[in-house]
Amino acid sequence: MKHTLTQQFYRVTEAAAVAGFKWLGRGDKNHADGAAVAAMRQQLNAMPIDGTIVIGEGEIDDAPMLYIGEKVGQSSGERIDIAVDPIEGTRMTALGQSNALSVMAVAEAGTLLHAPDMYMEKLIVGPAAKGTINLHLSLEENLKLISQALQKSLSDLTVSILDKPRHTPVIAALYKLGVRVFTFPDGDVSASLLTCFPDQPIDVMYGIGGAPEGVISAAAIRALGGDMHARLLTREQVKGTSAEHQQASREEVRRCQAMGLTIGQVLRLDDLAKSDNVLFSATGITDGDLLKGVEASESSITTHSLVIDGQRQTQQWIKTVNRLAL
């Protein structure tokens, strides 16, 4: 991707974060999401790209979306795949909680996993444990292999996991194994990336979250030299067999078949993000472990973004102060 182009992408998550921030603490996640989606779409459509949304957010919680397959940009420029989550943490935004982000990943056409918006089991580690993970093995076996690679005892290993009822038995098993467990209410993109920053205490991210969040994380993990394995799961497998979940699962199975995907099959980093030519952009909405949130004063709006470029092997931490016309 052209450098001039990559330098424009953070503007997209910046605009979405500011739009979502306007709904901070209003208890209304759909309006927050809608505002961020509209801002993201507007920014993308102004760019000299021929972009396709390969995976987006929306259907899991019926949120407004940049839909899967949607074409964005001026269709004149480079052909690219885009994975988006205009607000990664609509609940956190609506409730004024920490760690809400606007996130996006971009790559050459045909290199990001094209999948429905459904659930995904994820196992992620940083560069020092690359090559050790294997979702065909049990979590316990994986953690032992990871601790060996990191030359740590299991009691010194820190695993982060979404604090959801579906993970209650896993969390109990992790305590029993003796690893340290960090739970977080929402936002597994941020938790996934933290495994790749040496100054952060998290060694492993495990758990079931969203597939769009998984693909976006995979792009960043690839660029940062970490590793990831994943599996697509149906709503029924994750949330139980109510009539509504069964219905949703049938639709997921149908859509996976149409996209040539097998539910439950182990996907490796290469299957999720095929090329090193990937770009990840995130802007904080609320203060979090990765980035500070939007700061608004009477005369300015300040944003904090992280752009990770896999091809150039760079991380840019960008603070933008937008002065408001008074």
Q: Which residues share a beta bridge with 104? A: 84, 281
Number of residues that bind ligand VTB (CB under 6 A): 12
Minimum Å gap between C-beta 323 and ligand VTB is 32
**Dihedral, CA atoms, 310, 199, 96, 307, nearest 10 degrees?**
-20
The reply on whether position 187 binds ligand VTB by CB under 6 A is: yes
Indicate the burial class of 213 (C-beta count within 10 angstroms; 0-12, 13-18, 19 or more).
buried
Specify whether the CB–CB gap between 326 and 301 falls below 8 A.
Answer: no
**Separation CA 184–CA 163 (nearest Å):** 5
d(CA 261, CA 246): 19
The one among 57, 59, 81, 203 contacting Mg ion by CB under 5 A? 57
Our finding on whether 209 is near ligand VTB (CB under 6 A) is: yes
Q: Which residue is nearest to ligand VTB (CB)?
A: 209
Q: How far is the CB of 63 from Mg ion (least distance, A)?
A: 6
223 binds Mg ion (CB under 5 A): no
Interhelix angle 29-45/3-21, rounded to 10 degrees, is: 160
Asked if 121 interacts with ligand VTB (CB under 6 A), we say no
Q: Which position among 14, 59, 81, 85 is part of the footprint of Mg ion (CB under 5 A)?
A: 85
* Residues 70 to 99 in contact with ligand VTB, rule: CB under 6 A: 88-89
Q: Which stretch binds ligand VTB (CB under 6 A): 136-144, 180-188, 299-307, 313-321?
A: 180-188
88 binds Mg ion (CB under 5 A): yes
CB 104 within 8 A of CB 212: no
Rounded Cα gap, residues 283 and 273, in angstroms: 21
Enumerate binding residues for ligand VTB (CB under 6 A).
Answer: 60, 88-89, 162, 164, 186-189, 209-210, 213
Contacts with Mg ion by CB under 5 A lie at: 57, 85, 87-88
